[in-house]
Chains A and B, each alone.
Chain A
């Protein structure tokens, strides 16, 4: 087969054009990669949401050299909305167990903070989900991240094209930020994990303008320090998508392998098997 000079020039030009177009997609859009070469992961089983979680999480924390003595700890659960009979939020028992575990480690303060993405009435969500009563009983402070003071924060990634985000002071000033997501099905990615939970730290007044979530999640995640992650169980039927029992295993497996962070206390419950 012979190639004419014309074909060579046209082919080379096409190759150059193709490279110029595709190269930007392969270049990293972040300045620093904070991931550990190998994430430290602990998987612990619990059979139900109960006070036994206190002990399980305390055991999980002892597996890692974590020193929170005198430090401020912010627990970031996933509080979306309240839909009766539909488990879309991080279970209060898990959040209270985490708070208890960090208090036992002599943390200076433990705060629960969240900015619901769709519901503007945070107090209504807190009251309907049982968080208000639980946090009051345990005398734990809650910070509404949708109304917290904001600090303009330069981003270390630019997937959205934005150079900065306004992030809540409570999150930025925390010594220890713990992501406590609810693993859910998602119509785009199949599953949402810790990174999507961290999107909740972007206040509503700004996140509502962000309609390319996966890019936003990554940008929102990167300004902060490496986060710790306690995750609850996957559930069936989130975001309008049903997960079959077979996929639950897949979801949990994906969660264990792909989450950023140092700790995963994965709880597996009978109802999901």
Chain B
């Protein structure tokens, strides 16, 4: 972030614009940032493609006539690991990472990507938080009880071989929710999704919302994070009546109006829209952030553009409406 320069977006004077104009500027900026390889880098100033911002950018551009979508889809298909997973960055080892769920969602409308998505879904079904193993369950029940959680309720880790966290679990729920039937090797999808949903309920912060991992650690109540809470709420779209979900929605509604950070604000807007709460305040706050299209972080730019057109955004993220 260029705090050493006056020519940065924080200093730009807001101009009177319409939502559509802002959105079209953001879409145009996103397409300009596409790299020759088809992917996107994390930052505007970088030329190193990364999977997570590529997935967000692809979702943001998937239903608008901008950018070279085919090249982006090819990029994702080229970078898939042989086991069906995706690496966090190009050239990383082939163990796979949480971005597998995002890539699966981003490729959802591409017929030729069906085999790749099937491999990814199989990989996701074989991947689980470390606490799903009986030995680790025993450890967390007997020797290591500083973090309050039920190891029977597990989801997905950031990387295989580690414990479950909120965001990768929510992304995996969204990816698996797109599987059309529990057949042909996908019989375990409903039970995995249900266990993961129970995990999210179990890990919620006592005051509402979600932190990155757990709600209570060393008897201390953790404070919720806005983006983690919003992403979890997107995965729990069908559980709007559950008290944990309602608490989280109320938490988001209470903090969103004062937010000035576009990443959290955008996720909050999408989550509130998914739960049919008014997102006008959030959209207004996003538009009030002067020149959004100059945001250095490409992931933020893409998520913000999805939030400003939340019907398209929720559809691109695979959130049922």
Contacts and interface: CB of A to CB of B under 8 A. Distances in A.
A208 B203 CA distance: 18
Contacts of B167: 120
Contact of B1 (A123, A150, A187, A240): A123
Contacts of A166: 89, 92
Interface stretch (B17-25, B68-76, B260-268, B306-314): B260-268
Interface in A147-187: 147-150, 152, 166, 187
A211 B163 contact: yes
Contacts of A149: 41, 43, 46-48
A209 B4 contact: no
Interface in A105-157: 118-121, 123-124, 126-127, 132, 135-136, 138-144, 147-150, 152
Interface stretch (B104-112, B175-183, B216-224): B216-224
Contacts of A239: 218
B192 to A, nearest CB: 21
A86 to B, nearest CB: 9
A208 B89 contact: no
Given A141-B3, A211-B163, A124 B219 contact: no
Nearest to A237: B220
Interface in A178-233: 187, 205-206, 208-211
B1 A144 contact: yes
A126 B1 contact: yes
A208 B3 contact: no
Given A205-B97, A209-B159, A240-B220, A140 B227 contact: no
Nearest to B300: A123
B260 A127 contact: yes
A52 interface: no
Contact of A241 (B91, B92, B218): B218
B217 A240 contact: yes
A136 B3 CA distance: 5
A126 B146 CA distance: 29
Nearest to B91: A152
Contacts of A211: 130, 162-163
A166 B93 CA distance: 11
A85 to B, nearest CB: 11
Given A208-B158, A208-B159, A209-B158, A187 B264 contact: no
B122 interface: no
Given A140-B3, A141-B2, A144-B297, A208 B165 contact: yes
B263 A124 contact: yes
A120 B263 contact: yes
Where chain B touches its partner, the secondary structure class is loop
Contacts of B43: 144, 147-149
B204 interface: no
B42 interface: yes
B208 to A, nearest CB: 16
Nearest to B261: A124
Contacts of B217: 240
Nearest to A240: B218
Interface in A47-100: 81, 83
B226 A121 contact: yes
B158 A136 contact: no
B48 A118 contact: no
Interface in B1-50: 1-5, 10, 41-43, 46-48, 50
B42 A139 contact: no
A148 B48 CA distance: 9
Nearest to A147: B42
B52 interface: yes
B165 to A, nearest CB: 7
**Most-contacted residue by chain B among A126, A132, A143, A150 (CB, 10 A):** A150
B212 interface: yes
A121 B46 contact: no
Given A210-B162, A240-B220, 10 more contacts: A118-B225, A121-B261, A123-B261, A126-B1, A135-B3, A142-B1, A187-B218, A205-B158, A240-B146, A241-B218
